[in-house]
Amino acid sequence: MAGGADTIVAVATPPGVGGIGVLRLSGPRARVVAEAIAGPRLPVRCASHRRLRSADGTLVDDGLVLFFPEPASYTGEDVVELQGHGSPVLLQQLQDAALQLGARLARPGEFTERAFLNDRMDLAQAEAVADLIHAQTAAAARLARSSLDGALARELEPVGAEIRALRVLIEAEIDFGETDLESTAAVEVATRAAELAASIDDLVARLRPARVFSTGLRLALVGAPNVGKSSLMNRLADAEVAIVTEIPGTTRDVLRAPIAIDGIPVELIDTAGLRESDDAVERIGIERARSAAASADIIVEVLDLTRPEARAPLPDLPGIPVLQVWNKVDLMPGGGAQALRVSAFSGEGIDRLRAAIRAEIGLGDPGEQRFSVRSRHLEGLSAAAACLRRIDVGLAPDLIAEELRLAERSLEALLGRGDPEELLGAIFAGFCIGK
């Protein structure tokens, strides 16, 4: 337990009206404050129905009270949850009562930060809490849930164990006063360090695609007017989100639709036809289309099998992969040798389009990803691999030992061991209040 912590309070349910609303307290005075509101002798880990009062004793609400004594609570401190009616006015009154009784308003993420500081979870698990809350699809939630169960720490265990084994080898050599280059131990350590670096690289490559489940994917549909961009968007989104018409140039603005493709949260961007125009309003639309395409992860260029010549000039956006999709295959059955032939009308080829999008971001079969990762984790792993790759038989044993120490430290930072303050601040600032 972090000594001398103050007691924090926040409404844990989202703002607005709901069936119930939860006020959460954590800290050494959580129980005293809660008993001043809900009456004495709160049972442990057992719901009790209480009248809830303001600091001056005025009746505010009634509801269920749950008391979790430290250390077996979410934060590792005394935690009390007051479940009242989900009225913002009532919850505000209860929160004010707690503040008057000596609690202070929690910062965003502070409950989870305390859980981390009190060793209830590692840093990757704390990040998983935020990812789980913000998950936009069932697949994203499943991956974050695995991370919350400590999947990253388990994945790192054998890597950390191997680094420690190598440190023992080389440090024994240093302790025995051996400082020769290319000693037997140095050769073994260098060989195993290179193997370990390669397996970390594999791990990074395997984990990287899972990032898209939390960051989401932006797909821009570009193409000449009337090739079927809006229809394709509706087909992919499985809902009528764009206006389909037969008059060229109707999609004047950029339409954005949140959809899911095999569990990946996707923002689909339907752009106005990228073409030169004298019409002022349409020109604005075209400019917006260009900048929308520039923010995309993948550009889907939609073409029309019945009019192969109808092509829009593609914006020059180096680095963004372009997937060519030939639409209206229902009008040209068997026609054309193009790889991705689809019909926004019949749905033909749409599954292949989805698979092509997955392949483009390096995702294999749906369900292959096991837990959520963040860029921070991948960077930490790569930093560890870089240290290991610097180990060479020509390096003095104490320098080899130093690289191993640095590699180990990179791994520990992933799980928040050694806690650099600014890192913690940055991570927990991304939470919402009450978490």
Confirm if 303 and 310 have CB atoms less than 8 A apart.
Answer: yes
146 SS3 class: helix
Alpha-carbon dihedral 148, 154, 160, 165, rounded to 10 degrees: 160
Interface with Zn ion, residue 327, by CB under 5 A: no
Choose among ligand GDP, Zn ion, none what residue 345 binds, the Cβ cut-off being 5 to 8 Å by kind. ligand GDP
- Residues at the binding site for K(+) are 226, 245, 247, 250
What is the DSSP track for 306-332? T-TT--PPPP--TTS-EEEEEE-GGGS
Question: Near ligand GDP by CB under 6 A, which window of 200-208, 328-336, 387-395, 421-429?
Answer: 328-336
Question: Between residue 235 and residue 274, which ones bind ligand GDP under the rule CB under 6 A?
Answer: 244-246, 251
Report long-range pairs for 173-178 (Cβ below 8 Å, ≥24 apart).
Answer: 173/397, 174/397, 174/398, 174/401, 178/397
Q: Is position 372 an interface residue for ligand GDP (rule: CB under 6 A)?
A: no
Minimum CB distance to ligand GDP smaller for 88 or for 335: 335
343 binds Zn ion, rule: CB under 5 A: no
Q: What is the dihedral of CA 368, 206, 219, 324, to 10 degrees?
A: -90
Q: Are 233 and 270 in contact (CB under 8 A)?
A: yes
Report whether 113 contacts 125 (CB < 8 A).
no
Judged by CB under 6 A, the residue of 345, 352, 399, 405 near ligand GDP is: 345
Closest approach, Cβ 311 to ligand GDP, in A, equals: 12
- Name the token pair of 87: 């009225």
Per CB under 6 A, 230 contacts ligand GDP: yes
For ligand GDP, the closer CB: 246 or 316: 246
If binding is defined by CB under 5 A, does position 230 make contact with Zn ion? yes
Q: Look at residues 120, 96, 90, 87 and name the one whose alpha carbon lies nearest to residue 9.
A: 96
- Nearer to Zn ion by Cβ, of 13 and 230: the residue is 230
User: Could you say whether residue 226 binds Zn ion (CB under 5 A)?
Assistant: no
* Least separation in angstroms between CB 255 and ligand GDP: 9
In the list 21, 63, 223, 263, the residue contacting ligand GDP (rule: CB under 6 A) is 223
**Minimum CB separation from ligand GDP for residue 242, in Å?**
7
Residue 193 CB neighbours (<10 A)? 25
- Answer with the entry of ligand GDP, Zn ion, none that 246 interacts with (C-beta below 5 to 8 A by kind): ligand GDP
Please identify which residue in 26, 146, 251, 410 interacts with Zn ion, judged by CB under 5 A: 251
Q: For residues 240 and 244, what is the distance between their CA atoms, to the nearest angstrom?
A: 9
Binding footprint of ligand GDP on the chain (CB under 6 A): 223, 225-231, 244-246, 251, 327-328, 330-331, 343-345
